[in-house]
Structure 1
Amino acid sequence: MSVLIKLRDFANLPEAEQEVKNFILKYPKRVLEMTTAEIAQETYTSSATVVRLCKRIGVGGFNKLKLLIAKENEVFDNMNLEILDTTTINKNDTEHEIIDKITNIDLKSIEETRVLVDIHQLHEVVELIRKAYILDFFGVGSSHVVALDATYKFMRVGKNIANYALYDRQYVQAVNADADHLGIIFSYSGETKEMVEIAKILRQKGIKVVAVTCSIGSSLSKASDYNLTVSSKETIFRSGAMSSRISSLYIVDLLYALYCRADYERAAEMINKTRIGG
């Protein structure tokens, strides 16, 4: 997983650590030539704050962070990715400009999510999907749209699915779940109160929970067993909702493709049987 993207998407940091985070993201190449004391001076914090941030994101220390950033700077340059890049639709944009902007942000969101993919964790989630008798998909708002896409895909290959639009029904769905179920929760922010509550209910019942969210360190991430992280690039009036939907759908496609590969002949047969129209 990209340490720069992980740093960018880490939620709920103390104010001082947030200042250090913002500085590192703004000057990732300059940071390589600096000490913790120099960063502390630039951010009006302390060397201890810099070290605490490194530990919080799972990096042993500042020197290790610099090594990881040095490697990623080259990768990001080769992929033409900007860690703080945003795409905003302006009032006077032409149709061609809007088409180019949306195409660019969708492509970059997928490319960035690819960098974030933890293949080992993705494999474990696919195995959980294979073993689960019932898949419970949860999400509200635009995240529910992603849950619907996942529902249709996995229904086509014979999985039993539970997915409801209204929260009261999702709540009952979680309360009634048992060990034969697997909970997969979609939430862009990772802070949707209802989804965090769903995750807690499922885990209290001993049911594995998978979160698909852009917010590392969010309440939902902490309440889940597995976290599949998606891009949080900002777009459209500085809101990340569009890019998160695209990257979340990308994660669903990965899970679906890997699941089908595991039982290829059967999956192909089921897809052919459930094809509607031409």
Structure 2
Amino acid sequence: MMVEQIFGRLNLTSTEKQIVDFIEANPRIVINLPLDELSEQCYVSQASIIRFCKKLGMKGFADFKIKLASQLSTFAANGQSIHVDMPIGENADGPEIAETFYHLTAQALKTTYDSLDYQALREAARLLAKADIVHIYGRGESQILAEDFHYKLIRIGMHSTMEPQNGFEEAKCLQSSARISQAALIVSHYCNSRHIHYIVDELMSSKIPFVLITAAENAFPYDTFAAVTLRVTNAESRFKMGSFASRTAMTFLLDCLYGQIFSLQYERNRDNLNLFSRRKVERSYFYNISDKKGSYD
């Protein structure tokens, strides 16, 4: 990795060693940290970090983070180098493909687990759990993940809304109400589409707080508008076979959020889940009848 290769050749000052120690221990967190937060974490000045980056031959802190993120997009497994964008090589066989995706999934899970912000997770869960209505938004691949979360909330009796057709959710009329508590969840990988801009604008106009889940390193200004922002590390580029690592990371984060929501009102959610399951069983005889000969529609 770049950190290990470059830092070993430098004569570091005590201040620079503090910076190195933090980056080596938290490389994936660093690529999502603004300069002022890294300065606080390392207990050094922002100027010291900038000087250090230039000592490495970078233009500045932003340039350093780009190069670090590029390095993190490749990881080693069983002596093999796996790239998250193009993990499968030409003429790969079944066992090789299965092993590659196994390691890719495990790496994504570990990275996300290690960087979980538990306080933010609790705040997001409380905001959504106490709402009378939860509006959920996603687009493209993010929509698929959001729909799964939407279905989980419905199963435990929460009033969750989500428009499956692109464009329909932009036509939804959101209105604030003193009698109805509303909250929203936005799942957006890159957080840079006009669609997200429109949704955020509508939510803010209606004074509806929202949770933002994103893999974007820079989600400004949406992360400043969100009540809570939950991030996953994005080591993938636009040129990729598929969103394998980020999909795993996002799914894991959403499952953690759902688990937190479920635990806040455990007995009620458990009872609602049992009721949902029982209704499924009670209706099963309709399906059995339709399978018999001579049945009528």
The 3 A distance-change label for structure 1 pair 89 and 127 is: same
Q: Give the letter for the 2:120 counterpart.
A: Q
Shift of the alpha carbon at 1:44? 5.2
Q: What is the CA distance between 1:244 and its match in structure 2?
A: 1.7
How many percent identity over aligned positions?
Answer: 19
Structure 2 residue ranges without an equivalent (≥5): 1-24, 36-47, 66-77, 285-297
- Residue correspondence of structure 1 range 168-187 to structure 2 within 5 A: 168-173=167-172, 175-178=173-176, 180-187=181-188
Q: Is the 8 A contact 2:183 2:208 kept in 1?
A: yes
Shift of 1:133: 0.7
Q: Which amino acid aligns with 2:87?
A: T
Q: Residues 80-229 of structure 1: matches in 2 within 5 Å?
A: 86=84, 88-173=87-172, 175-178=173-176, 180-219=181-220, 220-229=222-231
* Contact 1:136 1:163 (8 Å CA) reproduced: yes
SS at match of 1:183: strand
Structure 1 position 230, deviation (Å): 1.7
Q: Deviations over 1:69-117 (max 9, x none)?
A: xxxxxxxxxxx9xxx9636211221111111111111121121111221
Which protein has the larger Cα radius of gyration, Structure 1 or Structure 2? 2
Residues 200 and 156 of structure 1: is their aligned pair in 2 closer, same or farther, counting only changes over 3 Å? same
CA contact (8 A) 1:151 1:163 kept: yes
CA deviation profile, 1:54-78 (whole Å, cap 9, x unmatched)? 9x9xxxxxxxxxxxxxxxxxxxxxx
Partner of 1:253: 255
Q: 1:262 to 1:171 in 2, by over 3 A?
A: same
- Equivalent pairs counted in the alignment come to 227
Q: Which runs of 5+ in 1 are unaligned?
A: 18-33, 57-79
Taking only aligned residues, the RMSD between alpha carbons, in angstroms, comes to 3.4
Using the size of structure 2 for normalisation, the TM-score is: 0.66
In the aligned structure 2, how far is the partner of 1:257 from the partner of 1:35?
38
TM-score, structure 1 normalization: 0.70
Shift of 1:204: 2.7
Deviation at 1:6, TM superposition (A): 3.4
Shift of 1:217: 2.1
Q: CA deviation at 1:168?
A: 2.1
| Pair 5,92 (structure 1): closer, same or farther in 2 beyond 3 Å | same
Alignment CA distance shift 1:42-1:133 (3 Å): same
